[in-house]
Amino acid sequence: MINRRRFLESASALLAVSALGADGVELVNQRPKRVGLIGAGWYGPSDLWRLIQVAPAEVVGIADPDKNMLASAVEIASQRQKSRKRPPAYNDYRDLLKQHQCDIVIIGSPDHWHALQAIAALEAGADVYLQKPISVDVMEGEAILAAARRHQRVVQIGTQRKSTPHLIDVKKQVVDAGLLGRIGHVEMCCYFHMRANGNPPVQPVPDFLDYEMWTGPAPLRPYDGLPHRRWWRTFMEYGNGITGDMCVHMLDTVNWLLGLRWPKRITSTGGIYVQTDGKSNIADTQTAIFEYDGFNAVWQHRTWGTPPDPDYPWALFLYGEKGTLKASTMRADFIPHDRNAKPLHFECLFEREQYPEDVTEKDIELNAAPATRRHMLDFLAAIAKRSRPVADVEEGHISTASCILANLSMELGRPLVYDPVKREVKGDPEATKRLRRPYRAPWQRPEIG
């Protein structure tokens, strides 16, 4: 009964917010936003479908170097958007931005493309919904942040835990209410077996994939099969491993819950300890320590073995003098130290009844869909008011760069202290030099300005 009542309350609230937007900003009667999508694989289209569910939107173009994925996204867009028009398809995102004046650009491409595509969209006058992590190196993130501020555009990062209903409840009812007391330690983890690994042979590039364009500024690896979904994430050439993919979510959530900014110091160790066969070059085991005033936040991932807490395989844990908070995308539990105090349990909100199309959507993360819808509404309200969204690009940069610095600490074998004002690693010229990755010609690194 409690879950049913909470669903009805949340459903009614979301309908009201869909009509008015966050903070009472009217959305329904506005001109449909002209939306461009860059990256037609998994999460780009998923973000786009969530936007279409909550606000008037016209997809004016979709760009992707894979013709098959591009055709699929165009077809679904024609079914989802109100006009039923088939948006034009582009191999090159620059052609999309050149041909259409987009109000919003959604970027769901692999990490190594985020900086160039986001900055190009900002320069074209669009507000941007950018998937996490925002960049593959620290200086790319600085360049995106500088461009967003210079062009006075709204940039919402896809760290949608800040819009996750049960985590919003947790923040209000546990953290902000002071139930934890003084916090002395934080842990974050991911124990999913999500590290793709194998030895596929080098093979001809299929006609439907522009592999040169897909690779862009990253190193050109010998083609050994479609890079989509998990395969590209298993290589540091395109991202930052499990820490860059999964820790960024949990660290960003901890920063939000506790009002944190840059860590004082970052230390990390790890490597490939168990899954030594195969081509994957990302760590299968890693520990990172993010130091803040009064406590450390410790990240741990293993892509093998079992999680210590089966209910919380990808999660965060706040340890306070009055109790412990466990939280994930699926649930949360507050466990008071006082046996006479009442524990609190929170469940993920699903909206299958309100959005039945979610149930049949291919590859949807049903638990994340309600959060993404609310994230989109917050994004639209920020656009209307020309204000900062809940997952502003600066916070996304801090979370992303902190994870990148953890990887760099692991590689160099020493702690790192980043100075965001001077944009350097204090007292470490070698680490400072590695805040920038080399780009493959003819692509040029974005200027911070």
pLDDT tens by residue, 65-98: 999 999 999 999 999 999 999 999 999 999 999 9
Q: Is 321 exposed, middle or buried (0-12, 13-18, 19+ CB in 10 A)?
A: exposed
Nearest Cα neighbor of 388 from 139, 152, 140, 181 is 152
Indicate the helix (H) or strand (E) that contains 53: helix 43-54
**Can you tell me the distance from the alpha carbon of 249 to that of 160, in angstroms, rounded to the nearest whole number?**
8
So what's the pLDDT on residue 28?
A: 53
* Mean pLDDT split into 10-residue runs, the chain, 449 residues: 42 46 56 96 92 97 97 95 95 98 98 98 98 98 98 98 98 98 98 96 98 98 92 97 98 98 98 97 98 98 97 98 98 96 96 92 91 98 98 98 98 98 98 98 94
Which letter, b or e, does each residue of 108-137 get, where b requires 16 or more Cβ atoms within 10 Å of its Cβ? Answer: bbbbbbbbbbbbbbbebebbbbbbbbbbbb
Please tell me the predicted confidence (pLDDT) of residue 8: 43
Tally of CB atoms within 10 A around 72: 17
Find, among 153, 112, 160, 157, the residue nearest to 135 by Cα.
112
Residue in this structure with the two tokens 């919380």, named with its chain if needed: 312
310: three-class secondary structure by DSSP: coil
pLDDT at res. 316: 98
Give the chain's count of helices (H) and strands (E): 15, 16
Distance of CA 345 to the CA centre of its chain: 26
pLDDT number for residue 23: 53
Q: What is the pLDDT of residue 31?
A: 86
DSSP, collapsed to helix, strand or coil, labels residue 245 as helix
- Strand 183-190 with 155-157, pairing: unpaired
Interval 117-129: pLDDT, tens = 999 999 999 999 9
Tokens representing 58 are 């016209």
SS3 call for 419: strand
Cα-only R_g, the chain: 21
The per-residue pLDDT for 22 is: 52
In the chain, what are the helix, strand and coil shares in percent, each to the nearest 5?
40, 20, 45
Q: What spatial distance separates the first Cα and last Cα of the chain, rounded to whole Å?
A: 56
- Asked whether the CA dihedral 366, 368, 373, 374 is positive or negative, the reply is positive
Query: Which two tokens mark 376?
Result: 């989109």
> Would strands 323-328 and 331-336 be described as parallel, antiparallel, or unpaired?
antiparallel
Taking the C-alpha atoms of residue 245 and residue 238, their distance in angstroms, rounded to an integer, is 11
Dist. CA 147–CA 127, nearest whole Å: 11
Residues contacting 377, CB < 8 A, separation 6+: 17, 18, 21, 22, 27, 54, 55
Tell me the CA distances in angstroms from 327 to 172, 314, 334, 345, 396, one per residue in order.
Answer: 14, 9, 9, 10, 20
Answer whether 293's CB lies under 8 Å from 214's CB: no
Domains of the chain, earliest start first: 11-159 (3.40.50.720), 162-199+214-380+391-433 (3.30.360.10)
Regarding beta strands 57-63 and 33-38, do their DSSP bridges make them parallel or antiparallel, or are they unpaired?
Answer: parallel
**Structure tokens, 208:** 């439907």
Helix (H, G, I), strand (E, B) or coil at 190: strand
Taking residue 362's Cβ as centre, other Cβ atoms within 10 Å add up to 9
From residue 31, alpha-carbon distances to 55, 57, 103 in Å are 10, 8, 11
